[in-house]
Structure 1
Amino acid sequence: MRLLIIGGGPGGYVCGIRAGQLGIDTVVVEQAKAGGTCLNVGCIPSKALIHAADEFHKLSGYDGRSALGITAASPSIDLSRTIAWKDGIVARLTGGVQGLLKKAGARLITGQAEFLDGKTVQVTTDAAVLRIVAENVIIATGSEPVELPFLPFGGKVISSTEALALDAVPERLVVVGGGYIGLEIGTAFAKLGAAVTIVEATSKILPQYDSALTRPVMASLEALGIKLMLDTKAKAASDTGLMVETADGEIIDLPAERILVTVGRRPRSQGAGIPGLSLDMDGHFIRIDENCRTSMRGVFAIGDVTGEPMLAHRAMAQGELVAEFLSGKKRVWDKICIPAVCFTDPEIVTCGLSPDEAKSAGIETTTGQFPFTANGRAMSMEAENGFVRVVARKDNGLILGLQGVGEGISELAAAFAIAIEMSARLEDITAIIHAHPTLGEALHEACLKALGHSLHI
């Protein structure tokens, strides 16, 4: 066999589809369902829950006080039906992945893979134990939630996987971890009616983002009644909830029906016989080169198992790259930027360098920021809380980074990435006619501001 892919998540299945299209004899082994974590218990179901929560929350606010003049009487939600709807979306997408693999000529096997050596993998299925020898093997085993030793998963202590399968809204939910997963799910349940408390051990939420981007999110958390406890450490589950220690040393018992632990994810690099290959490692991540090759000939690795950023679209791009590389095409990983989206309320998008990152790199920059309070489309959507910011070289206007926060701003991620990957300058963006009225006009205006001649502020 030419190619064996271990893991059928975004990286693995995209690699399998592209390899099949290129005529490479390919088998994909997935231990659970096609689509991996992202499609089954991560990206897709979480966004479905967020959408349902947003719709319910908006309806709940239309009680006669709405400036729009809309009145709705006592809305309610049956979370079990919501979850069934979410599961239907997942089923459609997993079925689609299976169909695309089959159409491309790649074979999908459901089973547990175990390396016997760098070329031989044993696959245990429900029906048989298979031994597959492949010329090339790709490790695409993904990642899993980090479990705290003093808060093991089970009972009322849950990970994001269990949170996305609850059939009833908990009356009180404590979220351990103020990163994007905890805030996304915590915000959704607050909108569904839960009393939510977020416990974060550090002094700020979303530590990867600067305060200008997180400030609107903080305001939204407060407006939703979410209690935010910073510099607070989770200690242990109690009979009634979660014991925590505040910054001043006070021990508090937070009441909770559910405790959602979202303190990060770790690569699945310790199973499937991977340690026996003695690959070069970077901590728990597998070290790769510009072609996603590991230190062992014929063994590649893609996605979360290879390091940050642990994003589905990074894994997809790597999977496509490896398939084309194996087909003989000249492909190397030379991406300038990888966009990242945080689906909080409001959403956050980052792409390329932030002002602080550019400064740390010794680059003299100019920035431009345009608020959605001056954007007609945002006003008409009641979505004025946020802005778009551009970071460019001061000497020639080359765009180094784009960031934004606002309702629906995730849809600008592609425009941000295109501008940076195509090496656009400020004048390139301002020369493009942006449709009116749209949120995308904020990108145009931010670039105008950086050039010193903004029109609408």
Structure 2
Amino acid sequence: GLSHLDTLGISASNPQIDFAKTQAWKSGVVNQLTSGIKTLVTKNGGKILEGTGTFTGSHSLEVSGSAGTTKVTFKNCVIATGSSPIHIPSFPIGPRILDSTGALNLQKVPKSMVIIGGGYIGLELGFVYRKLGAQVTVVEMMDTVLPGFDSDVVKHMTRKLKKDKFTVLTQAKALGYKETQNGLVLQVEQAGKTQDLECEYLVVSVGRRPNAKGFGLERTGVQVDERGFIKVDKHMRTNVGHLYAIGDVAGQPMLAHHASYQGEIAAEVIAGHHAEDHAKVCPAVVFTDPEVAVVGMSEDEAKAKGLEIMTGQFPFVALGKAKAQNDTEGFVKIIANKTSEEVLGMVIVGHNAGDLIGEGLIGIEMGAFLDDFGTTIHPHPTLTEAIMEAAKKAKGQAIHVLN
């Protein structure tokens, strides 16, 4: 922020936000990425049919578009229909009630916003609009934000939300709403008491559901599980051998990079090569401020499995690079098996956490031990030194903090 710049001796007076221009920039980047993918497909000999596809059988479908209906037959098919935000019937999506897609497309910064759901999507959206000046309230049914994340992550994020002047209501339930001239009044129940929250916009962010209905999947014989996800094996095959499914529609984790990984496997298998899902772990990043990045087991998960563990935690405030950048928030935490010292998980909270987690990801995937991280020479001054120090800390051998 500007106070950060002022600390570094850089002054910027009376800054203004042209949000329409910001949105135009965002849309431009998205268009560049999507058009780039189209170019790659066509340059590699692929054909793109734009329209709505509907299965008419296990070897055929129809694509309805502006140019009419095209019938397609195929030997193999990959289903990659993704997911959609879960909608709550009592809070129908409209001009003032938004899902995550609608929240990303607002054309002005609201004065106030209430977000139902304190998971990673809700917090990511909340930080965007809080940074832009909106008053943001988060309503979460569970007892913490980011439920399911490492307890140290939750503690840090809870403190940061308070510092950034969010209003956070946990163990709270949204009951209903009334429309007003300038927005909504949301009724919320917490600890047996009901209160009204006024806001310009209400964002419903309570998770996502697989897109497995509405395109004739039932005509193919493909099976879905009780939650609506398409069942696949390690080769991405469904129960119908020539039909494959990847990405959000094929189950957790519902992350873009996981979908890409699965897509490559399906393509390789269809091409006649040997390929299977052999990944031990998949990283996840929460794009809040600061970022949160995790891979492998959290401390709580390891303990729940009855594993004896050792952990090491190193704060960025003890790093020269972080101090020089005045970005000292957060930490690196490593979870390892106490007997073997094999690293089971890594948690990073801080600026650039999503980029830093790559080292932990490779290490855990390859079966690295604490000494592999702790005794490998890391460049100085960099933020990666925190990973080395956290590994040392787990063994009581840290250099730049007390053990």
Q: Normalised by the shorter chain, which TM-score bucket?
A: over 0.9
Residue 264 of structure 2 is aligned to residue 320 of structure 1: yes
Q: Pick from 139, 152, 164: which aligns with 1:199? A: 139
1:153 pairs, out of 93, 104, 108, with 93
* Aligned-residue identity in percent: 40
Specify which of 247, 252, 272 is matched with residue 308 of structure 1: 252
Q: Does residue 338 in structure 1 map to residue 253 in structure 2?
A: no
Query: Structure 2: how far apart are the matches of 1:395 and 1:199?
Result: 42
Counterparts of 1:130 and 1:404, CA distance in 2 = 49
Distance in 1, matches of 2:142 and 2:292, equals: 20
Shift of 1:62: 6.2
The corresponding residue for 1:436 is 380
2:23 equivalent to 1:92: no
Q: For the Cα contact (< 8 Å) 1:409–1:439, is it kept in 2?
A: no
TM-aligned CA distance change 1:95 to 1:292, over 3 Å:
same
- Residue 214 of structure 1 corresponds to 154
User: Does structure 1 residue 396 correspond to structure 2 residue 340?
Assistant: yes
What pairs up with 1:41-440 in 2 under 5 angstroms? 58-59=1-2, 61=3, 66-240=6-180, 241-283=184-226, 284-440=228-384
Q: Deviations over 1:255-288 (max 9, x none)?
A: 1111111111000011211133342222211111
Task: Please say which of residues 293-302 and 215-224 is displaced more in the overlay.
Answer: 215-224
Aligned-partner Cα distance in 2 for 1:453–1:171: 49
Structure 1 distance, partners of 2:159, 2:326, is: 15
Q: Is the partner of 2:57 in helix, strand or coil?
A: coil
Tell whether the 8 Å contact from 1:216 to 1:346 is kept in structure 2 after alignment. no
**Superposed CA offset, 1:132-183 (max 9, x none):** 1100111100000111000010120011111111111111111111011111
Unaligned runs of 5+ in 1: 1-57
Note if contact 2:80-2:249 (Cα within 8 Å) is conserved in structure 1: yes
What is the rounded CA distance, in whole Å, between the counterparts of 1:179 and 1:244 in structure 2?
20
Query: What SS does structure 2 have at the residue aligned with 1:233?
Result: strand
Larger RCO, structures 1/2 (Cα 8 Å, 6+ apart)? 1
Instruction: Give deviations 1:66-120, integer Å, cap 9, x for gaps.
Output: 4323332121101001001111111111111111111211111111000111111
2-structure distance, mates of 1:438, 1:86: 30
CA distance in 2, matches of 1:266, 1:435: 43
For 2:64 and 2:130, the matched residues in 1 are separated by 42
CA contact (8 A) 2:139 2:172 kept: yes
> 1:342 & 1:444 partners in 2: Cα distance?
23
CA distance in 2, matches of 1:97, 1:112: 19
Q: Aligned pair 1:445/2:389, yes or no? A: yes
Separation of aligned partners in 2, 1:268 and 1:251? 35
Which whole-Å CA distance do the structure 2 matches of 1:152 and 1:204 have between them? 26
Task: Answer yes or no: is the 8 Å Cα contact 1:390–1:399 preserved in 2.
Answer: yes
Q: Cα distance, 1:248 vs. partner?
A: 2.8
SS of equivalent to 1:263: coil
Aligned length: 397
Which letter maps to 1:202?
M
| Distance (whole Å) between structure 2 residues aligned to residue 258 and residue 368 of structure 1 | 42
RMSD: 1.4
Q: Which amino acid aligns with 2:201?
A: R
Q: Equivalent of 1:454, from 388, 391, 398?
A: 398
**Deviation at 1:219?**
1.9
Asked if the contact 2:140–2:169 (Cα under 8 Å) also holds between the matched residues in 1, the reply is yes
Letter in 1 for 2:44: A
- SS of structure 2 residue aligned to 1:351: strand
Tell me if structure 2 keeps the 8 A contact 1:445–1:454. yes
